Structure 1
Amino acid sequence: MTLYLCVDCGGSKTAAVICDAAGTIVGRALGGPSNFAYLSLEDFELAVRLTVSDALKTCTSPPSIDPVPLPPKGDSPFAAAWFGVSGLDSPAAISEVTPTLSALLGIPVGPHLSIANDTHLLAAPVRMHPDVTHAVGVIAGTGAIAVSFKEIPSGFQELGRVGGWGWILGDEGGGFHVGREAVRQMLAETDLASVRGAPPPESIMVKRILERFGQKTVLDVLIAVHMHIPDAAAATIPPQTLPQYTMPSEKRLSSLAPLVFQSAFEDADPLALRVLQTTSNIFAAQITVLLGQSDESMPNRVKAQDTLISFGGSLAGVEAYRKMILDALAAQGHVFRYVEFVDDAAATGAIGLAASHAAKKD
């Protein structure tokens, strides 16, 4: 059987999916974290090896009980493999990991072994649309990033990227930005009310955030966001709010995103909707840097009408939020030919990899 492997290496898990030549998924497995930025090369290799071995066990009928040895003793079971690795952001890092993955799978370094950052997996749906060769991958989860690609014979060439700088420097459009913007707009409403001499409008989002922090007034949220809690003082905090206070400050804010989304899309809370309109508009403005007519000064721009946009991440998984981003892009004249949401990047990558190699044979 000719097999195609895609591995999505992330900070919380490793996902491996195996397809046959027809693009049918025949094996899959989940393993531990494999973000290359946080692991030694040895620990990274171990996480990948265990996950791929488990995926190979599921390819037989009935599934094998015994581990599948890697590196393979003979020929590689894979015709091609594609790795999307979080934390792999430079050519030097890719060069460091490539020999290890090549030896692990028995695939020579070259066109049958693709290794890149995990955002590249969002370009995979291009392979299901023969009339486009360009993609913009957009991740909106805890953080946010957008990357543009062009399909080439050896895989995908990265053209441009915006964002992905982390919470201190940016991540506009992601969960941290949403949580921060929610608190900022709560505070702005309170400041404005002090000048008007009248209370701000009622907001279910504000009530939920105050409950999350165990506070009664909006200004007390400042303490909740900025306070550092020594271990000895944790005993004085109400149990229902303790996890919120012991989180790092950035996670205290990013964890508010679900409350904002619930208030906006389930309760139509005006303030919550305004928060998400703000974050989606700012994120869309960043994405537009990648878009437009290419010229000598901007040779790597892509035209939206000739391009697929592919979303990933927990926030982008909410259709209403994706629509906000797309509407903001359309308002700037950028309407994409195709729109996809990738909720299983490893599966999409494996299917796309098989399709790509089938097209080359044809």
Structure 2
Amino acid sequence: MTAVVVGVDGGGTGTRCVVATESGEVAGRGRAGGSNVLSAADPGESLRAALRDALEGVAGARVAGGVFALAGAESARERAESLVSGVWRACGLDGRVEIVPDPLAAFAGATAEPSGTVLIAGTGAMAARISGRRLTARVDGHGWLLGDEGSGVWIGRRAVQAVLALLDGRAAPTALLDAVAARVAAWETGEAGVPPGEEAATAATLTPWRVVRAVHGGISAAGPAWLGRLAPAVEAAAGDGDAAALEIIREAAGRLVSTALALGPGPEPGAPGGSGPLVFAGSLLTGPTALAAMVRTGLGDAAGTVVAARDSAAGAAALALHAVLPDALAAHRKLIV
């Protein structure tokens, strides 16, 4: 019976699971809602759903081990361990399971190199150095309330602040008003109910208290990732030349560049990753975004070789292969192609 391993990538907005064979073939995939242990509404249920989905048709006895890369796990280690062990047992699995920082899986999902640097900008944001497939240094990743500068949530919060300044008469008009009004309207009609005597919010009827009400309600119901859903609208407005949106994207890029450079030189002179690549991870850096272009420009020669992340769940599975096989390099390369 051929053994398989499990890799899980749990972020603020989604959880993905990959089941891989010893030769690097994908035997199953699963998806569910967010499982950031600090901010997701029900991370345990998301982990269970993704794992069960991926393991459909796979005998539990075949599972030799697993790696869970969970956002927020380093700040809430005990809770993360309790969640993972409970989910693992609930799915009838006995193999060795390990929790690793999510930047490690992002790096391993982009390259089979053992060392380098990863810069992440998605729901959250951080930079990390990887040495021998272990995270050895990190900058930021302190969560949406205290850090994650340049992240999707950070950008969304800045967009709301820009609109509140406009509504207060403290700032010039911005196209972000339409985007924030649409988010408020979506929350009112879908979750909270439109205030008595009012219609769903529009750019013309939006008021500061409705914005504040929607933001607090949205975060309470869906976690801070609710704010991150505004990031694509900020990107689009910046692309159309909106001054407020451009300023937000420029500031986000500057903060991400500072985060990456704060790691200092790598183990060898030169780029932040030393002799290894710099992996861009997270939807804000892996897509053709203005933010990604600004970050590349801001890093300049310090970036070295830049590789875009592909599949962090496959990266977690690759790490699980390295834990159970004496030589998993070929399987790792095959798995992340």
Do both proteins adopt the same fold according to a TM-score greater than 0.5, normalized to the shorter chain? Answer: yes
Q: 1:306 corresponds to which residue?
A: 275
Q: 2:288 corresponds to which residue?
A: 319
Structure 1 residues 127 and 361 mapped into 2: Cα distance closer, same or farther (>3 Å)? Answer: closer
Equivalent pairs counted in the alignment come to: 301
Structure 1 residues 255 and 350 mapped into 2: Cα distance closer, same or farther (>3 Å)? Answer: closer
Q: Does the residue aligned with 2:195 lie in a helix, a strand or coil?
A: helix
Partner AA of 1:345 in structure 2: S
Q: Does the residue aligned with 1:128 lie in a helix, a strand or coil?
A: coil
Q: Structure 2-normalised TM-score?
A: 0.70
What displacement does 1:285 show?
0.6
Larger radius of gyration: 1
Q: Structure 1-normalised TM-score?
A: 0.66
Structure 2: gaps spanning 5 or more residues = 183-191, 331-337
Distance in 1, matches of 2:303 and 2:73, equals 31
Q: Which digits, 9 at most, give the CA deviation of each residue in 1:6-35, with x for residues without a partner?
A: 122344443221122221212112245544
Q: 2:130 corresponds to which residue?
A: 149
Q: Which of these residues, 51, 63, 66, is aligned with residue 78 of structure 1?
A: 63
Distance in 1, matches of 2:251 and 2:329, equals 47
What displacement does 1:189 show?
10
What displacement does 1:245 show?
5.4
Q: Aligned-residue CA RMSD in angstroms? A: 4.2
Q: Does the residue aligned with 2:54 lie in a helix, a strand or coil?
A: helix
Q: Which digits, 9 at most, give the CA deviation of each residue in 1:219-256, with x for residues without a partner?
A: xxxxxxxxxxxx89922444134885542257686444
Structure 1 residues 190 and 88 mapped into 2: Cα distance closer, same or farther (>3 Å)? Answer: closer
* Cα pair 1:119 1:147 within 8 Å, conserved: yes
Distance in 2, matches of 1:335 and 1:244, equals 39
What displacement does 1:281 show?
0.9
Structure 1: gaps spanning 5 or more residues = 60-67, 216-230, 296-300
- Identity across matched positions, percent: 25
Q: Which digits, 9 at most, give the CA deviation of each residue in 1:245-285, with x for residues without a partner?
A: 542257686444222201223x2445533431221012211
Distance in 2, matches of 1:185 and 1:95, equals 39
Structure 1 residues 34 and 163 mapped into 2: Cα distance closer, same or farther (>3 Å)? Answer: same
Distance in 1, matches of 2:194 and 2:320, equals 53
What displacement does 1:95 show?
5.3
Partner AA of 1:316 in structure 2: L
Structure 1 residues 280 and 167 mapped into 2: Cα distance closer, same or farther (>3 Å)? Answer: same
Structure 1 residues 147 and 182 mapped into 2: Cα distance closer, same or farther (>3 Å)? Answer: same
Q: 1:262 corresponds to which residue?
A: 236
Q: Which digits, 9 at most, give the CA deviation of each residue in 1:110-152, with x for residues without a partner?
A: xxx33123333112146523xxx3232332123322222212x
Q: Does the residue aligned with 1:235 lie in a helix, a strand or coil?
A: coil
Find out whether 1:248 has 2:205 as its counterpart.
no
Partner AA of 2:246 in structure 1: L
Q: Which digits, 9 at most, give the CA deviation of each residue in 1:61-97, with x for residues without a partner?
A: xxxxxxx5xxx4xxx3123321112331155456545
Distance in 2, matches of 1:285 and 1:80, equals 37
Distance in 1, matches of 2:304 and 2:47, equals 35
Distance in 2, matches of 1:335 and 1:361, equals 25
Q: 1:134 corresponds to which residue?
A: 115
Find out whether 1:175 has 2:152 as its counterpart.
yes
Q: 1:288 corresponds to which residue?
A: 261
Partner AA of 1:239 in structure 2: A
